[in-house]
Amino acid sequence: MKTLLTLLLSAAALRAAPDSRAPARVAVFDFQAEGAAATKLGGASVGRSIANVLTADLSSLLPVTVVDSAEVRESLSDRKVQIADPLEPSEASQVGRTLGATTLVSGRVYMDGNDIIIAAKVVSATTGQTLGAMAKADASTTVADAVSLLGTQVGRIALSQQGNPDVPWAPAEIVGTARGKSLFSVGEVACVMAVDGVPIPDETEKWELKRALLPGFHDIFVRYYDGTSVAGENFTLEAMPGQNYEVSFERPQGQKPKLWIREQLSGRAVTPTILASVGEPPRVIQGRISFDLRGIWSESNNPTPYPNAMGHSK
């Protein structure tokens, strides 16, 4: 009887105990860009574009969720939250309440020679604690990867500020596919030709080599080749941490090849299927900073809806 009472009391105590782990919901404000950075990255809207891509990348980092970029802009149109302006805890709390966010992120983009530095300030709307994160795009790191790296740092800070344990977000992987390939025949190959504007050398021969993708959105240029004809198509892939993807194709007799990317394990398509044009060899726009995450990077388009972006009723 005494044991039962103890168990009941313990259960009641557990239920009553406040949960120190709260979900992390991040609001990313438009970044500012230094003159040279804006010029190199494509104009004054680069800060907004970086915020869009960062928001999209953060939405891949479960259990982190994000506030929709448009909602962030609408809610605080009269007010700028900028990296160089200290945010007092009461102000952070007020902004957080308005947006339904636990974490507020602002940032700035700099040029250092040919390198691009992206710095972010991460403020807890709960405690006012302020931390920083920084990533650099250079000869070995694309802007997309730099934003992805920044995203994982911001995500970690957001989780820890809410009392959550660290999450090891592993890179995803992508690989090509081939059919009918033999010593005497090229067969049909669909492979990754470039990631975020960076071409992969000998991509057709190395179609089975797995390429690591940092969590977040990436521009994947896919190439199809059957020994005589060639086709190429660009996809925007949201690489979820630890997932394996493969390029898929289908070419009914006498028709154009259909290309898409799917999850390897489930076989589920994660991009639209595109009917690729056969003819001119596909050309990748060279340059590590000219990647185009359609609908996310471009200012003219509205951001694509992110899986974890939730509206907040005001």
Partner 1 sequence: MNRDELDHLLRSLRVPEATEEFREALPGSVFSAITRGEGAHKTRRLTLGFAAAAACGLLIGFLLWHRPLSYERQAAAMEDGRTLHDLLTRYPGRLQAIIQDATGLHTQVSDRGEVSTSNPVWLEIKDGSDQQVVVTFSGQRIRCEGHDVVVLTDTSGDVMLVGDGFFWSRGATVGVAGTVQIRAGKISQTRDHSPVSL
Residues near partner 1 (CB under 8 A): 34, 83-90, 108, 110-112, 115, 117, 119, 121, 123, 127-134, 136, 153, 156-157, 160
Closer CB to partner 1, 130 or 229, in the complex: 130
- Burial letters for 1-16: b for 16+ Cβ neighbours within 10 Å, e otherwise? eeeeeeeeeeeeeeee
Closer CB to partner 1, 115 or 208, in the complex: 115
CB of 152 to partner 1, least distance (A): 11
Q: Are 215 and 172 in contact (CB under 8 A)?
A: yes
CB of 119 to partner 1, least distance (A): 5
Q: Are 297 and 234 in contact (CB under 8 A)?
A: no
Closer CB to partner 1, 110 or 298, in the complex: 110
Amino acid at position 96, single letter: G
CB of 111 to partner 1, least distance (A): 7
Q: Are 121 and 129 in contact (CB under 8 A)?
A: no
Closer CB to partner 1, 20 or 300, in the complex: 20
CB of 35 to partner 1, least distance (A): 8
CB of 241 to partner 1, least distance (A): 18
Q: Are 58 and 154 in contact (CB under 8 A)?
A: yes
Q: Give whole-number Cα distances, 201 to 142, 145, 205, 284, in Å.
A: 16, 19, 9, 12
Closer CB to partner 1, 83 or 259, in the complex: 83
Q: Reply yes or no: is the peptide bond before residue 63 cis, omega within 30 of 0.
A: yes
